[in-house]
């Protein structure tokens, strides 16, 4: 028996690749570039299985999935997700998808999954599918942790001070996050963002970074470009996307006099405000090439003096009341 499979993706190249791989394996294949085309086809011809891209123009893949499960509940749907978009994959499984594949879709994995779904005596249990998704998420976490470490080491080669600083900022920021009872996911963003926040310093000359005396105005202007350089570096990797606000905005101030965009209080996300506080406190209490460390008591006075202008006053209070500076 020849099965009729419909592959739906807005990219012609992906449709073609899927079509070739499935045709060679003996399946009859139709392709659709958008949801309306798929719905028309479903109303005209019997279909045994649908490969459905989550990111579709006009009607999203998830909306289509809901509609298909309502009108053609017997047709199994395999969702195709972008790498790093596994949360949406989980959502799709809960909405009734039989399985999922991540892009780029390899031939072996495609044929194995299609075969399993077509020949499954019962729809695969959602527990099994969720287990696979959670394994994939955990692999993604490993990749993310490795990438953070690699970036952090790269920066350390150039400026050993920055690595120590970033590790300390991470510990302080996570402690503030825990005191605020933030969820694990947001704590992870704080931890990763703290390690990456100064990654743009890779683009600043070592002469300026390690200068033993105070920077000139011109040199300071160069240093001020590091958030934007950092964003240019990190935006190449989609798995670093959650950290971009921290990289971009960790030198913004509540009163709007920070850089690079002069954002004001409500425009600065909580994670960024936490990192800014931890970053400044760590910088004050660590010795720099051009000055000694400030005693903790004086650094706390600085935080108080700049509470409401540079720093979030609620966070300053929490930091002092919970004695998080003792870390």
Q: Which residues are catalytic?
A: 201
CB of 162 closer than 8 Å to CB of 282? no
Q: Which of residues 75 and 286 has its CB atom nearest to Fe ion in the complex?
A: 286
Q: Which of residues 113 and 166 has its CB atom nearest to Fe ion in the complex?
A: 166
Q: Minimum Å distance from CB 250 to Fe ion?
A: 5
Q: Minimum Å distance from CB 170 to Fe ion?
A: 14
Torsion sign over Cα 264, 265, 271, 272: positive
Q: Indicate the residue whose CB is closest to Fe ion.
A: 198
Q: Which residue's structure tokens are 């959650």?
A: 242
Q: Which of residues 41 and 229 has its CB atom nearest to Fe ion in the complex?
A: 229
Q: Which two tokens stand for residue 168?
A: 């300390």
Q: Which of residues 159 and 198 has its CB atom nearest to Fe ion in the complex?
A: 198
CB of 223 closer than 8 Å to CB of 190? no
Q: Minimum Å distance from CB 273 to Fe ion?
A: 14
Q: Which of residues 182-201 bind Fe ion (CB under 5 A)?
A: 198
Which stretches within the chain are classed as H helix? 12-24, 35-44, 61-71, 86-94, 107-119, 126-158, 160-179, 184-196, 206-209, 217-223, 226-234, 244-249, 270-285, 296-305, 313-321
Residues in contact with Fe ion, counted by CB under 5 A, come to a total of 1
By CB under 5 A, tell whether 312 contacts Fe ion. no
| Apex 179 CA angle, 192 and 248, nearest 5 | 35
Q: Minimum Å distance from CB 166 to Fe ion?
A: 10
Q: How far apart are CA 259 and CA 229, in angstroms?
A: 13
CB of 173 closer than 8 Å to CB of 190? yes
**Nearest by Cα to 321 from 307, 170, 167:** 307
Q: Minimum Å distance from CB 231 to Fe ion?
A: 12
Q: Which of residues 9 and 198 has its CB atom nearest to Fe ion in the complex?
A: 198
Print the SS3 string covering 146-166.
Answer: HHHHHHHHHHHHHCHHHHHHH
Q: Which of residues 48 and 198 has its CB atom nearest to Fe ion in the complex?
A: 198
Q: Minimum Å distance from CB 226 to Fe ion?
A: 6
Q: Which of residues 35 and 192 has its CB atom nearest to Fe ion in the complex?
A: 192
Residues 6+ apart with CB under 8 A from 309: 253, 254, 255, 257
**Nearest by Cα to 112 from 189, 14, 25:** 25
Q: Minimum Å distance from CB 188 to Fe ion?
A: 20
Residues forming a β-bridge with 29 = 5
Q: Which two tokens stand for residue 126?
A: 């959602």
The contact set with Fe ion (CB under 5 A) reads: 198
């Amino acid at each position: 028996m020849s099965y009729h499979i419909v592959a739906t993706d807005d990219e012609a190249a992906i449709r073609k690749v899927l079509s070739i791989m499935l045709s060679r394996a003996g399946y009859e294949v139709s392709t659709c570039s958008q949801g309306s085309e798929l719905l028309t086809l479903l109303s005209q011809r019997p279909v045994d299985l649908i490969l459905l891209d989550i990111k579709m123009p006009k009607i999203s893949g998830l909306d289509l999935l809901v509609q298909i499960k309502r009108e053609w509940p017997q047709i199994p749907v395999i969702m195709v997700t972008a790498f790093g978009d596994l949360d949406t994959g989980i959502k799709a499984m809960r909405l009734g998808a039989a399985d999922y594949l991540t892009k780029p879709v390899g031939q072996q994995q495609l044929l194995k999954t299609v075969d399993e779904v077509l020949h499954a005596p019962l729809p695969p249990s959602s527990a099994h599918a969720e287990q696979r998704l959670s394994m994939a998420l955990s692999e993604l976490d490993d990749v993310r942790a490795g990438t953070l470490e690699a970036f952090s080491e790269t920066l350390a080669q150039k400026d050993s001070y920055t690595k120590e600083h970033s590790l300390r900022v991470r510990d302080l920021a996570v402690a503030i996050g825990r005191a605020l009872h933030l969820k694990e996911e947001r704590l992870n963003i704080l931890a990763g963002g703290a390690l990456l926040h100064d990654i743009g310093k890779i683009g600043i000359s070592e002469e300026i970074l390690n200068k033993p005396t105070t920077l000139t105005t011109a040199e300071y202007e160069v240093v001020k470009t590091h958030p934007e350089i950092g964003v240019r570096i990190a935006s190449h990797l989609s798995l670093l996307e959650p950290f971009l606000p921290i990289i971009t905005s960790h030198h913004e101030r509540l009163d709007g006099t920070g850089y690079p965009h002069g954002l004001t209080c409500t425009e600065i996300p909580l994670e960024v405000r936490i990192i800014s506080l931890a970053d400044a406190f760590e910088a004050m209490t660590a010795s720099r090439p051009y000055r000694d460390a400030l005693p903790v008591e004086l650094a706390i006075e600085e935080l108080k003096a700049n509470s409401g202008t540079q720093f979030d006053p609620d966070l300053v209070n929490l930091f002092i009341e919970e004695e998080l500076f003792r870390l």
